[in-house]
Chain A
């Protein structure tokens, strides 16, 4: 399986409210709240770090989840958010400088 790289879209707004991350797309106004694990992945989505590394470092180590479960859940999460244009996904590392949004 090829490695994936994920980055935050420039077309979103995001903020932490009461420990949960709120994310809204300015393209279709879809609105999501992310739980702690999803937030950890979101904040690490810098376009340069491989998804597997994010899962190991920010999910397995932090939340004591086994790699297989964490990776499966992360891929589902990434697929859903990329479908709404909230996360950008590539087979190669990419530069997020065109995207202005910090991790909130």
Chain B
């Protein structure tokens, strides 16, 4: 077991929120077609409130801190927040579109000891990237930012969200990442809007494209291993937790709301009304999330994929139940292995069999 795994195990045993994702703003200078956020400012936390939260997180044992948004640099006090976070010795990762990063910002991030900066790139072709962000010139500026960050010696990652409007672009983005000497991550996850609007789910790539992604050795490495049929789940799997959300991870919105994860909008408290540690320890919602084991999932516990599925409890929650299946992850498991999930089989069965008793009006 690596030191990092040991640390995660220990945090789980001790109930420590080891990793926290803090969105400092939802405001953004881009208007990405797939974005799930409302970009208006509905009363963001002040600089002082955020510093207080950071102090509380440090005291609670948080080590990994992701600062994201919205676009983090839309906050004029972003560097004050970052400097304070680093003074408290967090391992800080920043998610940004890079558009507002110039040499001075890149140098400051380096000087403050930021662990990694993640920049979103959707295509290496401006006509596609800029059409997604709806900000002309954004690709050029994002790439310039990556170069500046790299030149300062910072670790940079390109995040490539894959959707219908940039299908087939991932090879180009991956090549760009290689040219720039940065790491590349691909994510085909599109989530409903924060207000529950599911219209953007139409942007999810079709199964055939997902299958091609999962069988591309340049993206997944060893295809045979990655797409192997799931092994029979053991007791450890059935007694296991779905993911770190609410166990060692939490998410805080710019308004102080606490959720188990950025992708799990279960209101669990607000740091403007309660201390973070009280929410973390005593929130009934977080305690409910923590109580769920794989064996407690009515459909997924019967699924052959239960031990290897990337099932997101947050996406399941948005579909209606945190104990239910996440159909996007069912699709991923199917496209990866060719084996239908228990939920897919259940739905297919429901569609092929009509109701046992059918009542129809008699023709008279």
Contact = CB atoms under 8 A, between A and B. Distances in A.
B271 interface: no
A12 B89 contact: yes
Contact of A17 (B10, B89, B114): B10
Given A22-B7, A31-B3, A15 B115 contact: no
B10 A14 contact: no
A102 interface: yes
Interface string A80-104: 0000000000000000000011111
Given A17-B11, A100-B86, A26 B58 contact: no
B63 A26 contact: no
Contacts of B113: 9-13, 26, 100-101
A14 B7 CA distance: 12
B91 interface: yes
Contacts of B63: 13, 15, 17, 22, 24
B61 A13 contact: no
A49 interface: no
A16 B91 contact: no
A54 to B, nearest CB: 19
Contacts of B62: 15
A76 interface: no
Given A22-B63, A100-B83, A100-B112, A17 B58 contact: no
Contacts of A79: none
Contacts of A102: 87-89
A101 B58 CA distance: 12
B61 A17 contact: yes
A33 interface: yes
Contacts of A35: none
Interface size class of A (residues with CB under 8 A): 20 to 34
Contacts of A100: 83, 86-87, 112-113
A13 B7 contact: no
B51 to A, nearest CB: 13
Residue of A24, A26, A31, A104 most packed against chain B (CB within 10 A):
A26
Contacts of B173: none
Contact of B58 (A10, A32, A104): A104
Contacts of B334: none
A16 B61 CA distance: 7
Interface in B1-29: 3-4, 6-7, 10-11, 13-14, 16, 18
A89 to B, nearest CB: 18
B111 to A, nearest CB: 7
Contacts of A14: 89
Contacts of B4: 31
Contacts of A33: 3, 6-7
A14 B111 CA distance: 17
Interface string A16-52: 1110001010110101110000000000000000000
B92 interface: yes
Residue of B10, B91, B112 most packed against chain A (CB within 10 A):
B91
Contacts of B13: 18
B251 interface: no
A33 B16 CA distance: 17
B81 to A, nearest CB: 13
Residue of A11, A15, A17, A104 most packed against chain B (CB within 10 A):
A15
B16 A17 contact: yes
B91 A26 contact: yes
B280 interface: no
Given A17-B11, A17-B61, A100-B112, 19 more contacts: A9-B113, A10-B86, A13-B63, A13-B91, A15-B58, A15-B62, A17-B7, A18-B10, A24-B63, A24-B91, A24-B115, A26-B91, A26-B115, A26-B155, A32-B3, A33-B6, A100-B86, A100-B87, A101-B87
Interface of A: 9-18, 22, 24, 26-27, 29, 31-33, 100-104
9 contacts: A10-B113, A13-B63, A15-B63, A18-B10, A24-B91, A26-B155, A100-B113, A101-B86, A102-B89
Interface of B: 3-4, 6-7, 10-11, 13-14, 16, 18, 58, 61-63, 83, 86-92, 111-115, 153, 155
Q: Which 4 interchain pairs have the tightest Cβ spacing? A: A13-B91, A104-B89, A15-B63, A11-B113
